[in-house]
Structure 1
Amino acid sequence: MFELILRAPESLVETVSDALMLELDALSVSVEDADADSEAEQALFGEPGMPAPKAGWQRSTLRALFPEEAAATEAATLLLAQDWAADVAMQGLQPVPEQDWVRLTQSQFAPVEITPSFWIVPTWHEPPAAAQQIIRLDPGLAFGTGTHPTTRMCLRWIATQPDERRAGWQRVLDYGCGSGILAIGAALHNGQAIDAVDIDPAAVTSTQANAQANGVQLNAGLPELASGHYPLVLANILATPLKLLAPLLCGHVAAGGDLVLAGILERQADELTAAYAPWCELAVHDREDGWVLMTARFAP
């Protein structure tokens, strides 16, 4: 495998990336700040789960992987010959050491502790000795592997509710289910008749597969699957869609039921409280790494 390294201005990052991936058959393209670790370094962050505010930095380094040196050389020759690529410069072409990519990827995902007895464990790991309950979940296309604070806080809330509260979870709604991890967590803690919904068909497929792998029963589908009232409604999305969904989500919470919301930054808590005020009194229940978990208990 060979790596082609190019330098491009911000205005050309997207064009160069598209050309490498769509026309020149690069296996992958990554973009870095060419001025990283210098006084000219620029911070470029987007909210988790959302696109970055810009495609690249003022001076960006693009690294494209090719299976063979000839393919990388041809790609560089064709790209740099384009009239629009006058400001693109080749920085290098080098072999990439062979590695066991599967093993390397797996090493980045270790078991995740939710409570001392409740863990998320990838299939290639043995469960920790202290684990009495586990969710088997591998990283995939859908959001929710347990490594993000919002997922951990939701699962921790589920796992720490008293038995008498869990006994009332005769129906559960996981809205924006992603990998299905919250729905599975609820099922492992006495949740019944669970509906897990998402706008992404890939998330629905992922949820169904993960539920089967964990031996739990649930209904996964697109949002129209959700109907009626639920004693427990879970939604780990992001603040903006959560605000828009306020009437819908609150309309699904049964009398005496719980609403559990995540994907909210600490600075957004007041906005969510105001958005949900017509229906319930949201409060911050948990905090972790700049994120908050907000919950509301509806009147019986």
Structure 2
Amino acid sequence: MFELRLLCGESQVEAVSEALEALDALSVSVEDADAQTDAEQALFGEPGLPPPREGWQRSRVLALFGQRAAAEEAARLLAAQDFFADGQVQGIEEVPEQDWVRLTQSQFAPVEITPEFWIVPSWHEPPAQARRVIRLDPGLAFGTGTHPTTRMCLRWIARQPLHGRRVLDYGCGSGILAIGAALHGAPEVDAVDIDPAAVQATLDNASANGVELRAGLPEAAQGRYEVVLANILATPLKVLAPLLCGHVAPGGELVLAGILERQADELAQAYAPWLRLDVADTEDGWILMTGQR
């Protein structure tokens, strides 16, 4: 495998990236060419929204090709394009062969939720102190336990008496919250998502963990629940306020995540007609909000 390294301005990044993809690059990535220097630029965007800019003032574009000849041809063709007039070809380097499966797996270690509750990929042994374990490998659906919002939801689940309580996981992704609720004693768990791939992932993950739950599209959520969990993002959570609150049984609890600290007031206002939301947990700038019907 061979890596073509290019330097270009912010305005060129999109055109260069599209050209590399058209030239059959196996992957294209962009990074700040001034990273780790005084000229480094912070480039932040809202979760779930497109980045504010396509690249940095000085962007390094890296493209992988299977053969050196393909990388050389891509460099030659790019150099002749008007949109790359101010760009530079910095070189082509061979990328050493690696065990990519093992390398990928090494990035996903067991995740502690509580000292007794862990998320453990299938290639790891559970820690000795683990009493409850969710076996979950990275997949297409959101929710592997590495994100603060997922961890906060699971911490909340681990500290609740769920025996005899009907639970809804709205926007289930991988099904991790639904599985966590089932493992902590919830006798009836429904998990719904707008993405059919997430529904299938939830069913597969539930089977792998030996728990029973129902999974389907949003219309599969029927009636009221003693616990409603929704780990999405602030904007859809505001839109869903009437629907989610309508699924909370009297005396039941609503648990919301995917919310930044600065969004607490707007979420509280959106849900005020039905219940009072309070911040129950916080981690790395994210918050967990809960309320009782």
On whether the aligned pair clears a TM of 0.5, the verdict is: yes
Amino acid at match of 1:213: A
Partner of 2:73: 74
Provide the secondary structure at the position in 1 that maps to 2:155.
Answer: helix
Q: How do 1:7-26 and structure 2 match up within 5 A?
A: 7-21=7-21, 23-26=22-25
Provide the secondary structure at the position in 1 that maps to 2:56.
Answer: coil
Paired with 2:69 and 2:234, the residues of 1 have a C-alpha distance of 47
Paired with 1:224 and 1:92, the residues of 2 have a C-alpha distance of 54
Amino acid at match of 2:241: A
Partner of 1:33: 32
**More displaced, 191-200 or 24-33?**
191-200
Paired with 1:220 and 1:58, the residues of 2 have a C-alpha distance of 46
Asked if the contact 1:199–1:222 (Cα under 8 Å) also holds between the matched residues in 2, the reply is: yes
How many pairs does the alignment contain? 293
Partner of 1:129: 128
Amino acid at match of 1:244: V
What does the per-residue CA deviation read over 1:60-119, in whole Å, with 9 as the maximum and x for residues that have no partner?
Answer: 110001111111111112222223322332111111112111111111111111111110
Asked if the contact 1:168–1:231 (Cα under 8 Å) also holds between the matched residues in 2, the reply is: no
Paired with 1:106 and 1:48, the residues of 2 have a C-alpha distance of 25
> 2:287 matched to 1:292?
yes
**Identity fraction in percent:** 75
Partner of 2:163: 167
Paired with 1:230 and 1:36, the residues of 2 have a C-alpha distance of 49
**More displaced, 195-204 or 131-140?**
195-204
Q: CA RMSD in A?
A: 1.3
Paired with 2:211 and 2:226, the residues of 1 have a C-alpha distance of 19
Give 4+ residue runs of structure 1 displaced > 4 Å after superposition: none
Paired with 1:167 and 1:37, the residues of 2 have a C-alpha distance of 51
Paired with 1:291 and 1:201, the residues of 2 have a C-alpha distance of 27
Query: Equivalent of 2:245, from 238, 247, 250?
Result: 250
Asked if the contact 2:163–2:187 (Cα under 8 Å) also holds between the matched residues in 1, the reply is: no
**More displaced, 11-20 or 108-117?**
11-20
Amino acid at match of 1:167: H
Amino acid at match of 2:13: V
Query: Equivalent of 1:218, from 181, 192, 213?
Result: 213
1:38 Cα deviation from its structure 2 partner: 2.2
> 2:192 matched to 1:197?
yes
Partner of 1:50: 49
Amino acid at match of 1:9: G
TM-score of the two chains, using structure 2 as the length reference: 0.96
Specify whether residues 138 and 25 from structure 1 end up closer, same or farther in structure 2 by C-alpha distance, changes over 3 A only: same
Paired with 2:31 and 2:200, the residues of 1 have a C-alpha distance of 33
Partner of 2:228: 233
Provide the secondary structure at the position in 2 that maps to 1:41.
Answer: coil
1:168 Cα deviation from its structure 2 partner: 3.3
Gapped regions of structure 2 (runs ≥ 5): none
1:235 Cα deviation from its structure 2 partner: 0.3
1:43 Cα deviation from its structure 2 partner: 0.4
Asked if the contact 2:256–2:289 (Cα under 8 Å) also holds between the matched residues in 1, the reply is: yes
